[in-house]
């Protein structure tokens, strides 16, 4: 059984992860409009991953006799000046999500909820990857600068990213 505080916090996190999915889908649409299908694909896969994050919280709340509550999802921005600006925004967003996850771990410890703490450790590790992968593309874009052919090659590379659903129970 989850405490009231944990249920409230996890429901807010379902909302935050859903917002992340919307944000990355909006970035994907912006890249489609700029004729950068590889960048659009990378963001689309990212959006799919975010929905699996939301669903993990959804399932955890349900499986511990909590009541899931859904809230309106804020609309994301729709435009970024450059591909680099989008990836910098993605990186910055992920650092905020990391802070949210750390806050949830603190709360789980305060509430002596060891099962939730254990559940959250997957997200602690995942956030390291989330920050790293957005920052890696941002760094490549800084190196590329205004070189259009290098941008084209990076677009082709980002087209290779595929969505893999996390293993059951992971
Ligand atoms: Fe669900 Fe990108 O953090």
**Nearest one of 102, 126, 137, 161 to 50, comparing CA atoms:** 126
Would you say the CB of residue 130 lies under 6 angstroms from ligand 1?
yes
Would you say the CB of residue 53 lies under 6 angstroms from ligand 1?
yes
Distance 93 CA to ligand 1 centre (A): 9
Confidence of residue 50 (pLDDT cuts 50, 70, 90): very high
Average pLDDT rounded to a whole number, residues 2-16: 98
> Rounded to two decimals, what is the model's pTM?
0.96
- Per-residue burial over 47-83, b if 16 or more Cβ lie within 10 Å, else e, is bbbbbebbebbbebbeebebeeeeeebeebeeebeeb
Six-digit token pair at 19? Answer: 């917002």
Distance 148 CA to ligand 1 centre (A): 30
Q: Which CATH superfamily is domain 4-69+80-158 in?
A: Ferritin, core subunit, four-helix bundle (1.20.1260.10)
Other CB atoms within 10 Å distance of the CB of residue 34? 15
Q: 110: which residues sit within 8 A by CB, 6+ positions away?
A: none
Is pLDDT at 14 greater than 90 in this prediction?
yes
Give the burial class of 89: count Cβ atoms within 10 A of its Cβ; 0-12 exposed, 13-18 middle, 19 or more buried: middle
For the chain, the residue count is: 170
Six-digit token pair at 41? Answer: 């694909």
Would you say the CB of residue 94 lies under 6 angstroms from ligand 1?
yes
**Nearest one of 48, 69, 56 to 4, comparing CA atoms:** 69
Distance 84 CA to ligand 1 centre (A): 19
Confidence of residue 169 (pLDDT cuts 50, 70, 90): low
Is pLDDT at 168 greater than 80 in this prediction?
no
Would you say the CB of residue 44 lies under 6 angstroms from ligand 1?
no
Is pLDDT at 117 greater than 90 in this prediction?
yes
Q: Nearest C-alpha to atom 1 of ligand 1 is from which residue?
A: 50
Other CB atoms within 10 Å distance of the CB of residue 159? 15
Average pLDDT rounded to a whole number, residues 131-139: 98
Average pLDDT rounded to a whole number, residues 63-87: 97
Distance 62 CA to ligand 1 centre (A): 20
- Per-residue burial over 98-108, b if 16 or more Cβ lie within 10 Å, else e, is beebeebbebb
């Amino acid at each position: 059984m989850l405490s009231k505080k944990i249920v409230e916090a996890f429901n807010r996190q379902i909302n935050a992860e859903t917002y992340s999915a919307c944000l990355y889908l909006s970035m994907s649409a912006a890249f489609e409009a700029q004729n950068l299908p590889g960048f659009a694909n990378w963001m689309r896969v990212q959006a799919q991953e975010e929905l699996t994050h939301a669903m993990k919280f959804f399932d955890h709340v349900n499986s511990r006799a909590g009541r899931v509550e859904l809230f309106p999802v804020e609309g994301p921005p729709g435009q970024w000046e450059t591909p680099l600006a989008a990836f910098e925004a993605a990186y910055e967003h992920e650092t905020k999500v990391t802070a949210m996850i750390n806050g949830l771990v603190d709360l789980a410890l305060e509430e002596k909820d060891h099962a939730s703490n254990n559940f959250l450790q997957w997200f602690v590790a995942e956030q390291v990857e989330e920050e790293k992968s957005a920052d890696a593309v941002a760094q490549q874009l800084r190196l590329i600068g205004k070189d259009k052919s290098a941008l084209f090659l990076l677009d082709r590379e980002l087209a290779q990213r595929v969505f893999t659903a996390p293993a059951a129970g992971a």
